[in-house]
Structure 1
């Protein structure tokens, strides 16, 4: 911490973004004391105010929370928002997914991927997904119709060999890798008017930035560029999307994806679990030990 500028030390009061809890002060909004909600603190708010979800009390705009459906517990709902909205907005706001279309989810056991599978199935789409072999039953249990084990061979090679027919309407990369191979070879398995979506590079997935930028973002078609649409998924605080996601939950079409639960005083163990990269679903910190 000694290397951080003093203004950052003042700002970064609390961390994390997803939350579920009970309203103690609606502050003149439609929410009232005692309402049970789930929601999130967007990154820009966290950076500008220091407010975070990993705290006993937090303050946030009322539009960033929604009443928690009674068929899920606070612990289950606490990991919904960021991953759920990232999946929801990608499929509906960007891809304009319709019933009867087909979706490929790369990273079906990730938090975003887990929700993407469920949301796509709820819309009436056919879903294929990738994960390691040990997570096949988990991914199929979420609704995936077809499974690819990415550890067997490079995924783009498996998809090329599969001779996908009909081709996917949406390819959603939820792992956070920057390897351009999946996009470069996508004409073989992504429909001409299909869309390739990505959550963007994360952690060790940053890889070769120059190769990615050239092959995905800059290379024109006359120089061999891919004639498919590529879009970065950036989650936004849209109240109607949060309500739409909550409706899927209330109808039982989307269920929680909780990997593990840790006590507030053991929050560091939650981060250790995330760093193993073996988590399937969300890692939750239970601030209130009496919460269900």
Structure 2
């Protein structure tokens, strides 16, 4: 095997046009790591946001989610073998995912679900973990509670809806009209067309809101005193503090963290048929700019995938 690979590199922030496909050395394998030949990568909003607005030390390999096959294991690795098909989300402070090969610690990966392809599996890690951690770690969602999930047809939202229903919650969602039927089929109890209706005038006394579209102030209006709000985009700190003081509403913004144990629980639900994957579009390595532009438009149903 050659010691060279191709990777998608960002050398300058501010534009997707700054992305380049370059040849570089395959990363060195440390004792606690595995070397993975990447099959596909999940495309996430943070990918284009980081390119446009910064946040990582330049130059860097873009991307986080991977699926692929273990090629080689480090001397200290015991849980994986060459030939294992795996999924995972890489630590952002290390090598990115959009490359032909990656190395990663075994705490960031696990074996892929047996009932889906490697390409499909790339849709799981970041979106699935973001939904899981937002619902259960931060919102602490319980059976019988009422939750509003914004953008429920998006990559994170479609996981969040299914996980909330699996937990036994009453789930209201916002989405464009074209996505209503699929969301009802996944168990949504109320579906609101955000383009023609004001959800804050329809919903009241909810226990929780999961927000991925920065609908902050109106979202607070649907919560009962003591309710919880989580955002994966923006949050108004002054308003959050005021509502916390006046109504006991707990509001937080968060970014997911790689967690193989939680990812294993998500994978188990997929293998049991409790969670369905939705792939909107598939792009190829050389189409990375078009792929990120499409992701940036924000109208995907489910996840977009990059084939390496």
Match of 1:57 among 101, 109, 113: 101
Q: Which residue of structure 2 lines up, in the alignment, with residue 74 of structure 1?
A: 118
Q: Which residue of structure 1 lines up, in the alignment, with residue 297 of structure 2?
A: 276
Deviation at 1:54, TM superposition (A): 0.9
Q: 2:285 matched to 1:248? A: no
| Correspondences of 1:92-103 after superposition (within 5 Å) | 92-103=136-147
Where does structure 2 lack aligned partners over 5 or more consecutive residues?
A: 1-9, 14-54
Match of 1:233 among 217, 236, 254: 254
Q: 2:240 matched to 1:182? A: no
Deviation at 1:220, TM superposition (A): 6.4
Instruction: Give deviations 1:21-42, integer Å, cap 9, x for gaps.
Output: 1111121321110111111113
| Correspondences of 1:21-170 after superposition (within 5 Å) | 21-27=68-74, 28-29=76-77, 30-45=79-94, 51-159=95-203, 164=204, 167-170=205-208
Deviation at 1:74, TM superposition (A): 0.9
Q: Which residue of structure 2 lines up, in the alignment, with residue 214 of structure 1?
A: 238
Match of 1:173 among 198, 208, 211: 211
Deviation at 1:72, TM superposition (A): 1.3
CA distance in 1 between counterparts of 2:174 and 2:80 reads: 40
Deviation at 1:156, TM superposition (A): 1.6
CA distance in 1 between counterparts of 2:226 and 2:242 reads: 19
> Structure 1 residues 32, 276: CA separation in 2 closer, same or farther (over 3 Å shift)?
same
Where does structure 1 lack aligned partners over 5 or more consecutive residues?
A: 46-50, 202-208, 288-292
TM-score, normalized by length of structure 1? 0.80
**Cα pair 1:64 1:237 within 8 Å, conserved:** yes
CA distance in 1 between counterparts of 2:244 and 2:130 reads: 29
Alignment RMSD, CA only?
2.3
Match of 1:195 among 228, 242, 246: 228
Instruction: Give deviations 1:135-182, integer Å, cap 9, x for gaps.
Output: 1123223321210111113332333xxxx4xx322211122x164232
Aligned pair count reads: 256
> Structure 1 residues 266, 97: CA separation in 2 closer, same or farther (over 3 Å shift)?
same
> Structure 1 residues 66, 277: CA separation in 2 closer, same or farther (over 3 Å shift)?
same
Which secondary structure state, in structure 2, belongs to the residue aligned with residue 254 of structure 1?
Answer: coil
